[in-house]
Amino acid sequence: MNDVKPLALVTGASSGIGFELARQLAERGYDLVVNAEDDARLQQAAQEIRAAGARVEVVRADLRVPEETEALFTAATTLGRPLDVVVLNAGVGRGGAFTDTDLADELKIVDLNVRSTVHLAKLVVRDMALRDTGRVLVTSSVASMAPGSFQAVYNASKSFLQSFTEALQNELKDTGVTLTSLMPGPTETDFFHRADMDDTKIGRQDKDDPARVARQGLDALFSGKDKRVAGSLRTKAQGLAAKVLPDSAKAQAHRTVAKPGSGERDGTG
């Protein structure tokens, strides 16, 4: 068929940055396989993405479960079409002191942000390497550049993703497969509410537009760039500062905005 479009897979596509990445890929001429854990929200997102003229396959899967990660890849690759673009975007966070948070919540961060990304990347990148073509966008964060006081496991998970992506970039530099790291700052999504951070300074501050973040990320992906700090000028300044500040200073700065209660009028860091 002459009208067959290229195919993209986006995880965490039911809302926020993931939804915008999927929607904008549809606007750029891609059909989509979209994934998230919340089936109702995913189905609603898929309807909106279809409005851009794309065919959209919905695959509900909890990527914290290895068998469901495998099932997602199987569903995405049994359509008889190669995956031209894969966006590894699914992620979760949790705020609070490490001594106070539940271990189960912290391990969910590791399972989704780290383990499932490695698992799906293993399947996707091998497939692309065999075909010697493909583009992968990994949603990292400016948080990857700083020790995350009161978000210790989340920031560490993003540091892992940043290192992981940069290592694969080097391994695959002589192939037709490219990887790009998308590094947003605080963005207007439900992330901070779900992370129980509504009472923090970072939870209450003005945040970046997810549509803008997604657009900058896709521009970087299709330009073959290694990474992109995406969002407002404030976020880009944060990324530049993180390159020169010592880790101890970055940890203290993170403490002032992420400590529980720091968003209250009399909160202190």
Collapsed DSSP state (helix, strand, coil) of residue 110: helix
Mean pLDDT of the chain: 94
Residue 265, pLDDT > 70, answer no
Tokens of 112: 């989704």
For the chain, counts of helices (H) and of strands (E):
11, 7
Q: What angle do CA 40, 209, 160 make, to 5 degrees?
A: 80
The confidence score (pLDDT) of residue 2 equals 53
Query: pTM of the entire structure?
Result: 0.94
Q: Are 46 and 18 in contact (CB under 8 A)?
A: no
Q: What average pLDDT does the segment 205-218 reach?
A: 95
Residue 26, pLDDT > 80, answer yes
Residues 6+ apart with CB under 8 A from 206: none
Domains of the chain with CATH codes: 7-258 (3.40.50.720)
Mean pLDDT is lowest, of 174-183, 187-196, 219-228, 257-266, for 257-266
Active site residues: 154
Q: What average pLDDT does the segment 114-141 reach?
A: 98
Q: What average pLDDT does the segment 248-253 reach?
A: 92
Instruction: Identify which of 26, 178, 149, 158 has the alpha carbon closest to the alpha carbon of residue 92.
Output: 158
Instruction: Please count the other Cβ atoms lying within 10 Å of the Cβ belonging to residue 194.
Output: 13
Q: What is the pLDDT of residues 35-94, one digit of tens each?
A: 999 999 999 999 999 999 999 999 999 999 999 999 999 999 998 999 999 999 999 999
The confidence score (pLDDT) of residue 3 equals 74
